[in-house]
Chain A
Amino acid sequence: MATITASKLHAAAPHTSTRRRSNLGHVVSRGLFWALVVVLLIYTIFPFYWAILAAIRPDREIAIVKYWPDEIYWGNLKYVFDNGDFLRALLNSTIVSLGTVLVALTFGAFAAYAMGRMRFRGRTIIMYMILAMTMFPAIAILGSLYQMINAVDLYNTIPALIITYLTFTLPFTVWVLSNFFKALPGELEESALVDGSTPFQAFYKILLPLSLPGLVTTGLLAFIAAWNEFLFALTFTTQDYNARTVQPAIASFSGNTQYDEPWGSIMAASVVVTVPLVVLVLVFQRKILAGLTAGAVKG
């Protein structure tokens, strides 16, 4: 009896001690994990918070580091919205981005339909060409595009930007949309064909509405790419803001204060051009994630 108890105790003792150790280890690793999550969250969000904070604090306070606003100061935002050049840049950016999206989606949807749902000679070559284009550095064609734009007298105009932005938005649009089209069920078009529709009718009456979510996602991604573009906008437009967009405007933004750099108004302008994007991205986050990672998983 006594021996049994002893052996029981003996057997139980190491068991409890490992249990306790692993509990402690569990608590420590849980704690570390949460610390990591919090650090990560602060790391990703804090800079944007800092921009907003600077935008709503007066420039005279710029030399004082504060982590919380005492009051909301509207002067920077007011200055930004009274600034004719900046407003013009906002308008230009909107026209250029929407124009690019419209052209890329229209052309891209037709091509993607053929690429995703039809077989034809040359399809593979076009697919490779489009893939190559999506990896292609814009700087590689900067000089020759500049020359072409000059030759057709489009330097410093909005069409010049829309046309050149197609170099990166169109291949991307075709690629992502053809994946969307490919994923749609094929029976739909077949039944439309049986009902006597032409393939083209099958495309715009059945497939197009079904792929609307795909079009929205792709359009959004193309819009963001065009809105954020800097190199072409800087090179193909001038300071007169006839066509210059917000990115080069912010890069060279200067306020009207006596302080060395008008960070308040720079950050106000930055927040103004970023908030719409952040809102769009947060609203459509699921779709954007799906669009961005399309294909990566299959590889």
Chain B
Amino acid sequence: MSQQVVAAPVAKPKWRRWGGASDAPESAWGKARERLAWTLVAPSVLVVAVVALYPLFQTFRLSFTNQKLASNDPWRYVGFAQYEFLLRNDGFQRAFRNTVVFTISSVAIETVLGVVVALIINSQFKGRGLLRTAMLVPWAIPTVVSARLWEYMYHGEYGVLNDLLVNKLPQLIDWIPFVGGTLASIFPSDGIAFTARPNTAMAAIVAVDVWKTTPFMALLILAGLQIIPGDIYEASTVDGASKWQQFWQMTLPMLRPALLVALIFRTLDAFRVFDVIYVMRGVAVETVSLAIFAQQTLVNEDRLGQTSAASVIIFACIGILVLIYTRLVRVEEA
């Protein structure tokens, strides 16, 4: 999913308009209101229970079976056999490694770039609004479309990136006196098929994700930057602090809560990556992700039990990541 809800830990509700101070209503009127509240909430709770909670429970249950999807063959509970199979399976291990590499590299690059971009937008200059508007464009483009678009731009023969790399940039650099010619000769003389070559494929995919998601990351970090009071900078400038010191000693520490929230959502999103890799490289071994592995096990191999076990592993990894991050947030707050 390309879209995330940015949900900070729920603040203690400040409103005390209706009802008493506690969750439990005291009066008869309160009782009626509680009934109404439940009537209003019930449809959503029911839907979530049916389309999310029940399937989640089923995923756990199915992961201990050898059930197939299409056939009505008898099935049985097989204990942890699916998990054992997966953990020993080369394809699964590869998908796991790829997913970890993708997650770490894309999230790290997006965070650093996101901070830089947020700092740029946060400063006053003409055209700031234009830049901020432009940044929403990559976010608005569907992941499938951006994957195909970059596939075209990466093309080994007529991709625009190769045209820049092989023709335009060396020409430009050649103009630099003395060192230009030497520098220009560093550039490749032939186009690189970025997505087809195994050793550049993952980097190419990460670059697409970075292009699509950094603006979003930057906008989240910007929201965090804008709540830092400006007068602390003035005070420290008077005290003789440099911009660099201000960034490391004031901006970054104050940004940490916003940064952590952004990191949580980006990490979770990156760990379940499917669209961009599937569209650009399908099931190619160098880039296949856990989500693609699980989907293919279901659709092509019809192994519902095994897919479920893979799903549980993904879910567990994401759960662990959330725990680590929330622990970090708590340490921050303490």
Instruction: Answer whether residue A208 sits at the interface, using C-beta atoms and an 8 A cutoff.
Output: no
B318 touches A292 (CB 8 A): no
Chain A residues 264 to 289 lying within 8 A of chain B, measured CB to CB, are 266-267, 270, 273-274, 277-278, 280-282, 285, 288-289
A30-B120 Cα distance, complex, nearest whole Å: 12
Assign chain A's interface to a size class: 35 or more
A51-B134 Cα distance, complex, nearest whole Å: 16
Instruction: Answer whether residue B127 sits at the interface, using C-beta atoms and an 8 A cutoff.
Output: yes
Cβ-defined partner of A133 (8 Å) among B8, B52, B120, B135: B52
B residues less than 8 Å from A227 (CB atoms): 142
A134-B7 Cα distance, complex, nearest whole Å: 8
A137 touches B272 (CB 8 A): yes
A296 touches B47 (CB 8 A): no
B residues less than 8 Å from A122 (CB atoms): 38
CB distance from B288 to the nearest CB of A (A): 13
Chain B residues 124 to 152 lying within 8 A of chain A, measured CB to CB, are 125, 127, 130-150, 152
B48 touches A171 (CB 8 A): yes
Instruction: Answer whether residue A182 sits at the interface, using C-beta atoms and an 8 A cutoff.
Output: yes
Identity of the chain B residue whose Cβ is nearest the Cβ of A53 in the assembled complex = B160
A142 touches B8 (CB 8 A): no
Instruction: Answer whether residue B91 sits at the interface, using C-beta atoms and an 8 A cutoff.
Output: no
A282-B216 Cα distance, complex, nearest whole Å: 14
Over the window 43-62 of chain A, the binary record of Cβ atoms lying under 8 Å from chain B Cβ atoms (1 yes, 0 no) is: 11101101100100000001
B59 touches A141 (CB 8 A): yes
Instruction: Answer whether residue B238 sits at the interface, using C-beta atoms and an 8 A cutoff.
Output: no
Instruction: Answer whether residue B184 sits at the interface, using C-beta atoms and an 8 A cutoff.
Output: no
A residues less than 8 Å from B220 (CB atoms): 292-293, 296
Instruction: Answer whether residue B5 sits at the interface, using C-beta atoms and an 8 A cutoff.
Output: yes
Q: Knowing A137-B315, A140-B314 touch, does A129 contact B141 (C-beta < 8 A)?
A: no
Instruction: Answer whether residue A130 sits at the interface, using C-beta atoms and an 8 A cutoff.
Output: yes
Cβ-defined partner of A296 (8 Å) among B6, B43, B132, B137: B6
CB distance from A279 to the nearest CB of B (A): 9
B48 touches A133 (CB 8 A): yes
A residues less than 8 Å from B329 (CB atoms): 299
Cβ-defined partner of B136 (8 Å) among A113, A130, A166, A282: A282
Assign chain B's interface to a size class: 35 or more
Over the window 22-58 of chain B, the binary record of Cβ atoms lying under 8 Å from chain A Cβ atoms (1 yes, 0 no) is: 1111000000011011101101110110011111101
A residues less than 8 Å from B149 (CB atoms): 47-48, 50-51, 267, 270
A residues less than 8 Å from B290 (CB atoms): 139
A167-B5 Cα distance, complex, nearest whole Å: 13
A119 touches B153 (CB 8 A): no
Instruction: Answer whether residue A2 sits at the interface, using C-beta atoms and an 8 A cutoff.
Output: no
A residues less than 8 Å from B147 (CB atoms): 251
A289-B216 Cα distance, complex, nearest whole Å: 9
B152 touches A110 (CB 8 A): no
Identity of the chain B residue whose Cβ is nearest the Cβ of A193 in the assembled complex = B18
Instruction: Answer whether residue A90 sits at the interface, using C-beta atoms and an 8 A cutoff.
Output: no
Given A37-B131, A224-B2, 6 more pairs with CB closer than 8 A: A43-B211, A47-B149, A48-B141, A110-B41, A118-B34, A127-B10
- A sample of 23 cross-chain residue pairs with beta-carbon separation below 8 angstroms, ordered by A number, consists of A37-B131, A114-B40, A119-B20, A120-B41, A126-B41, A135-B318, A137-B268, A137-B271, A139-B291, A143-B298, A144-B54, A146-B298, A147-B58, A147-B304, A170-B47, A225-B2, A225-B3, A230-B279, A231-B274, A231-B291, A274-B142, A296-B220, A297-B258
